[in-house]
Structure 1
Amino acid sequence: MDFLEELNRIVDQYDESILVMRQQTEQRLPAHQHKKGQLLLVLGGIAYLQTSEKDYYIPSNHYIWIPQNFPHNLMYNAQDLHIINVYFPEAHGEEFYNNLGIYPVSRLLSEMLSFSEKWQGNFFPGDWEFEFLKTLWGLLPKENLQRFSIQLPTTDDERLNEITADLRKRISEPLTLQDIAEKFGLSVRSLTRLFQNKLHISFIQYIKMLRIIRAMELIKNTNLTVTELAYEVGYSNISAFSNTFFQLTNMRPTEFKAML
């Protein structure tokens, strides 16, 4: 039995249990799914969750809710990253539980997770730990928190993947639609339609997301000032950088750095 099969067996072994796993077990596994809903909490860095349609970026002190039977795989490379997984059995709840989403960890949720920080393994109906975790599960939709909105769409179009790979390498440079179109032998109209038809996002919005993702990584791994960060990811206007960062993350760069 390979590791992926063993993981799925452990997670779905008991239909009625709530399972807590603190090991970073899902890193770099192929796409897989569980019969249970999954609360994945990220501390100390940035994790990347991949699906067939989008790449999701989960910053520190955020969690992602993964619905039942939702194919996904997790990637990260920070050595100090800490992951907590809590798997919940099937239950008929609010629409919240049917949709994948990334949310900040509230003070209340943080306190509850801190209280249960040493828990590990399966907890069953009748266990007081089970009732505590079930209360935590029920709290999630009640907080009405704003979703974290950086979600990069993916495609199997080889030509577009070549273009986006080039954009990642040149993120600190001025990047215009016309320059990129000329570099890859396309008209501006063709490149615009390629992004819209294959990624369902504009070229400009894709660049914004790439730049803010890179800024998040730099905040985590360097001591650059906000001004230095802005220039490093291709912004000459500090205010525009800060406003875009806020638009996509619901916090300013200084707030994000303080949270880390």
Structure 2
Amino acid sequence: MKILSELIKLVDQNPDSIVVMRQQTEQRLPAHQHNKTQLLLVYGGIAYLQTAEKDFYIPSNHYIWIPKNYPHNLMFNTQDLYIVNIYFPEKKAVGFYDELGIYPVSKLLAEMLSFSERWQGDYFKGSWEFEFLITLKGVLSKENLKKFSIQLPTTDDKRLNALIESFRNRLNENLSLAIIARQSGMSVRSLTRLFQTKLHITFVQYLKMLRIIRAMELIKDTDLNMTEIAYEIGYSNIAAFSNNFQQLTNMRPTEFKTK
């Protein structure tokens, strides 16, 4: 694909430069990778980063750190999403910089990004912009922020994918393991084993993450209040919804709405 080859060329043609891109250049491209590490910041909506093993959900005012040579592709379904990509040269990454992770944009990081909001293109060692961006990169590992933990495992098992698709749009229903097993013509034991062997996660854990992802979308895209959103995704108890939301996102639904 021409767009993909041009993107990779722009990022990697100068191995020692830091590249800043503010256009939504990576959306809906096939899986690809870069010789540089990547800081991908998301504002105004939810982006979906797909890898061979998992789908990662990046809400507004969060960033994902992508190690070098890590195959991925980016998806989103809203037009008001704003993305910033910063690509860093990396000879040998360790610790924080060697692991893919999603984190909230702190006040300090937001201020640094605001200061550099007009920057675009390649920046080379010796320039003050380069040194500033290196400092920005160094801030990431020092903040000790909790990872955003919604990561849906994926599988090429057609039977399981069809089963998940059958209840993905029915999250407001009573979707217990026994009910789904009966509807799919399987035993509870067989369905449990299918999730564990193919996705390495329980049905309940998978369903909980699906519901919280849908809640984030409803908070972002509708005027429903929190009680209405809780019922829309299958919670009859607003406290349970709020607790599960915090468990997976490290914030309450009301805080997420404010952000």
Corresponding letter in the other structure for 1:128: W
Provide the residue aligned with 1:106 in structure 2: 106
Q: Is the 8 Å Cα contact of residues 42 and 63 (structure 1) preserved in structure 2?
A: yes
Confirm whether residue 126 of structure 1 aligns to residue 101 of structure 2: no
Shift of 1:92: 3.2
Quote the residue 2:44 is aligned against. Answer: 44
- CA drift of 1:93 comes to 4.4
Percent identical pairs in the alignment equals: 71
Residue matched to 2:247? 247
User: Which residues in structure 2 correspond to 1:197-208 (within 5 Å)?
Assistant: 197-208=197-208
Q: Deviations over 1:188-240 (max 9, x none)?
A: 00000000000000000001000000000000000111100100000001100
Tell me the secondary structure at the aligned position of residue 74 of structure 2. strand
SS of corresponding position for 1:161: helix
User: 1:107, 1:94 → 2: CA distance?
Assistant: 25
Secondary structure of the structure 1 residue equivalent to 2:55: strand
Q: Unaligned stretches of 5+ in structure 1?
A: none
| Correspondence for 1:115 | 115
Shift of 1:184: 1.1
Which amino acid is the alignment partner of residue 216 of structure 1?
M
Structure 2 segments unaligned to the other structure (5+ residues): none
1:162 corresponds in structure 2 to 162
Alignment-derived partner of residue 220 in structure 1 = 220
Letter of the 1:85 partner, please give it: N
In the alignment, which residue of structure 2 is the partner of 1:136? 136
Q: What CA deviation, in whole Å up to 9, does each residue of 1:224-258 have, x standing for no partner?
A: 11100100000001100000000000011100000
Q: How does 1:1-260 map to 2 (within 5 A)?
A: 2-259=2-259
State the 1:91 CA deviation: 3.6
- Alpha-carbon distance in structure 1 between the residues aligned to 2:93 and 2:190: 44
Q: Secondary structure at the match of 1:84?
A: strand
1:7-32 per-residue CA deviation (whole Å, 9 max, x = no partner) reads: 10110010100000000000000000
TM-score (norm 1): 0.98
Q: Match for 1:209: what amino acid?
A: M
Secondary structure, aligned partner of 2:84: strand
Deviations 1:143-188 (A, max 9, x none): 1100000000000000000111112111111101111111111100
Contact 1:94/1:141 (8 A) holds in 2: no
Of 166-175 and 155-164, more deviation after overlay is shown by 166-175
Separation of aligned partners in 1, 2:80 and 2:56 = 20
Distance 1:254 1:139 in 2: 27
Secondary structure, aligned partner of 1:218: helix
Q: Which moved more, 1:166-175 or 1:116-125?
A: 166-175
| 1:34-61 deviations in Å (ceiling 9; x for gaps) | 0000000000100000000000000000
Deviating above 3 A after TM superposition, structure 1's stretches of 4 or more consecutive aligned residues are 91-94
Contact preservation (8 Å) 1:17, 1:89: yes
Partner Cα distance (2:232, 2:32) in 1:
36
Distance in 2 of aligned mates of 1:169 and 1:217: 13
Q: Secondary structure at the match of 2:171?
A: coil
State the secondary structure of the residue aligned to 1:186: coil
Deviation at 1:138, TM superposition (A): 1.1
Q: Distance in 1 between matches of 2:195 and 2:22?
A: 39
Distance in 2 (alpha carbons) for counterparts of 1:167 and 1:87: 38
Rounded to whole Å, the distance in 2 between the matches of 1:176 and 1:93 is 43
Give the CA deviation at 1:94.
3.5
